[in-house]
Amino acid sequence: MDWRGKVDWRGKVVVVTGASSGVGAETVFMAARRGAIPVLLARNVEKMADISRNIPTEHMVLPLDVSDAFAVERAFAVIHEKYGHIDVLVNNAGFGVFEWFKDMPLHEFSEMMNVNYMGIVHCTKAALPGMLTRGSGHIVNVASVAGKLVTKKAVGYAATKHAVIGFSNALRMELRGTGVGLSTVNPGPIATNFFDRADPSGQYLANLRKMGGVMLTAHQVAEQIFRAVEQKRAEITMPWFAAFGVKVAQLFPRFFERLTERLLDKK
């Protein structure tokens, strides 16, 4: 597959985790509209069935908990048996819990890390050997601005996204010259059901609206996932002002932390 410039998506096998809603579902629809063959992976079978009914083209649906390494191995074996290869893997599955460190139970730290980070490790381990053999393919890891700009009550979640970004940056170096690309997409807050679990009180969303905070849409993030593949981008951080903030924070971390503590403290 030639990843330079515009990509011909027709017939390409695009595997998407967390495909039952939000960014994952929109990525699936976008892949189908481009003529690709989307493979939906998620825990919620009923929601995937609803999405499946709205995809008129060829696709595959497999139930999967990405934190279960053996289940991942079996699911990807089914994909390879059916299609012979994977062209694009979008590691999108994840969730967040916004809570003070002192109040968050240990099991929630573990669960977030197992899904948000180890889920990416499991799926990448399953997809990458075939890509390396073929000398082509692309992996997109959906991380978060929270992996770069931290705030209170996001200790556990931010740690998982730091891990995803670190994993991606190191693996990208290992993949140079192999024909396999790797991108991270780091979105800010997205208007999806993510906040049903992350912020059940609704306080964070209410505070964002009060300050005129702009919420990204799942469609916008999915567009950047495809842009990352088509342009072989190493990293995309969105929206633009978050990307600018990341640059400033990298240059002046402690100053930026003091300057923005109250501004970003909306949880």
Domains (ranges, CATH) in the chain? 13-264 (3.40.50.720)
**What pTM was estimated for this model as a whole?**
0.88
H helices of 141-200, where? 155-174, 194-198
Query: With contact defined as beta carbons under 8 Å apart, do 17 and 119 qualify?
Result: yes
How many angstroms separate the first and last alpha carbons of the chain? 44
Q: For tokens 């649906």, what's the residue?
A: 61
Taking only the tens of pLDDT, the chain with its 267 residues reads 444 457 899 999 999 999 999 999 999 999 999 999 999 999 999 999 999 999 999 999 999 999 999 999 999 999 999 999 999 999 999 999 989 999 999 999 999 999 999 999 999 999 999 999 999 999 999 999 989 988 888 999 999 999 999 999 999 999 999 999 999 999 988 766 765 666 666 666 666 665 555 788 999 999 999 999 999 999 999 988 777 777 877 777 777 677 666 555 655
Q: For tokens 């994840």, what's the residue?
A: 94
Angle at 59 between CA 39 and CA 20, to 5 degrees: 50
Which SS3 state, helix, strand or coil, does residue 187 take?
strand
Euclidean distance between CA atoms 113 and 107, whole angstroms: 10
Integer Rg of the chain from CA: 18
Q: What is the pLDDT of residues 196-242, one digit of tens each?
A: 666 666 666 666 665 555 788 999 999 999 999 999 999 999 988 77
Helix, strand, coil fractions of the chain, as percent rounded to 5: 50, 15, 35
Q: Name residue 28's amino acid.
A: V
Strands annotated E in the chain: 13-17, 37-42, 60-63, 88-91, 137-142, 180-187, 235-238
Catalytic amino acids?
157
Angle at 252 between CA 248 and CA 253, to 5 degrees: 95
